[in-house]
Amino acid sequence: MQLSRSSVYYRPKSTKPADLELMDGMDRQYLKTPYYGSRRMTAWLRTQGHRVNHKRVQRLMRAMGLEAIYHKPNTSKPAPGHRTYPYLLKGLTVDRVNQVWAADITYLPMPRGFMYLVAIMDWHSRYVLSWKLSNTLEADFCIDALREALGKGQPQIFNTDQGSQFTSEAFSGLLLERGIRVSMDGKGRYLDNIFVERLWRSVKYEEVYLKAYRNGSEARRGIGAYLDFYNRERPHQSLGYRTPAQVFASGRLLRCLTDQEPALSSRKATSDFTAGVSLNLTPSLS
């Protein structure tokens, strides 16, 4: 037909509305019962009036990146040729900011498909350092999030799962060249990264499911506004009802005062951590 290769492109088919409805229900149920595999999820969907078979549910769960959580042998399978690293957080007391960071990816339902959200969090303060949205699971959006987070500090240990985005040389290389120790938990072991999993539950129930975004632009605006609220306004019981931004900023200030970490290099960087944050270093009398 005398067509050049560069003039022809594959146009992916959009996800069927019936599949999107199933995926939305499965995503909500998975947050409640993350130990449900495809067979149990199939049984649950049937109790909700859906006529589905096991193979269809298995295919949709695979597309969403959902897997039943239980300990099993040889489940962590990153991309061929990618190096994996041992889990370094077992028995470790995390008691200061920038000691451990963690990253994870979650699925977001959309009217005509779905998107993926990656976030990087400081474990001690629960502060979300950076986040990115993508309509594919390529590693690029994870690398962009990592570069943005590293502009705000540097951890001693960086923990992820063994997904191909995190085991890629481009992602792990950014950490290793800065002397950051890489830690990876097993596939399907969400408890190894529990704080990010709790963030996903908050994001979905307090924002995503309430707003029902129509497109990626709405999703970016909504998630950006929510995560700013999460960092700077939403008090956490485990943090003594302080916000993640307060704990993160006070931890950075404390390390600067004790000469364990250099002061922030610019006024702009300082404002990123302290804007809207009221530090209270006085011991509570209660």
Return per-residue pLDDT of the chain as tens, 286 residues.
777 877 777 776 777 888 888 998 998 898 888 878 889 899 999 999 999 999 999 999 888 878 776 544 333 345 666 788 999 998 899 999 999 999 999 988 887 778 999 999 999 999 999 999 999 888 999 999 999 999 999 999 999 988 889 999 999 999 999 999 999 986 545 556 788 888 998 999 899 988 888 899 999 999 999 999 999 999 998 899 999 999 999 888 776 766 544 444 444 444 444 444 444 433 333 3
Query: Rounded to an integer, what distance in angstroms lies between the CA atom of residue 208 and that of residue 230?
Result: 14
Cα four-point dihedral sign 172, 173, 175, 181: positive
**The pLDDT value given to residue 78:** 55
Give me the DSSP letters along 213-260.
Answer: -SSHHHHHHHHHHHHHHHHHT--BGGGTSB-HHHHHHHHHHHHHHTTS
Find out whether 182 and 85 touch, Cβ atoms under 8 Å: yes
Query: Rounded to an integer, what distance in angstroms lies between the CA atom of residue 30 and that of residue 36?
Result: 7
Query: Rounded to an integer, what distance in angstroms lies between the CA atom of residue 26 and that of residue 274?
Result: 39
**Its pTM surpasses 0.85:** no
Task: Identify the residue whose tokens are 């599949």.
Answer: 19
**The pLDDT value given to residue 214:** 86
**Dihedral over alpha carbons 81, 82, 83, 84 (to 10 degrees):** -130
**The pLDDT value given to residue 15:** 78
At 141, is the secondary structure helix, strand, or coil? helix
CATH of domain 81-280: 3.30.420.10
**The pLDDT value given to residue 286:** 30
**The pLDDT value given to residue 163:** 86
**The pLDDT value given to residue 121:** 97
DSSP H or E segment with residue 115: strand 113-122
**The pLDDT value given to residue 137:** 86
Q: Which residues pair with 100 in a beta bridge?
A: 157
At 120, is the secondary structure helix, strand, or coil? strand
Nearest to 280 by CA among 231, 244, 239, 247: 247
**The pLDDT value given to residue 107:** 87
Task: Please enumerate in sequence order all residues whose Cβ is within 8 A of that of 268, keeping only pairs 6 or more positions apart, or say none.
Answer: none
Alpha helices in 48-139 (DSSP H): 54-64
Query: Rounded to an integer, what distance in angstroms lies between the CA atom of residue 8 and that of residue 175?
Result: 38
**The pLDDT value given to residue 64:** 83
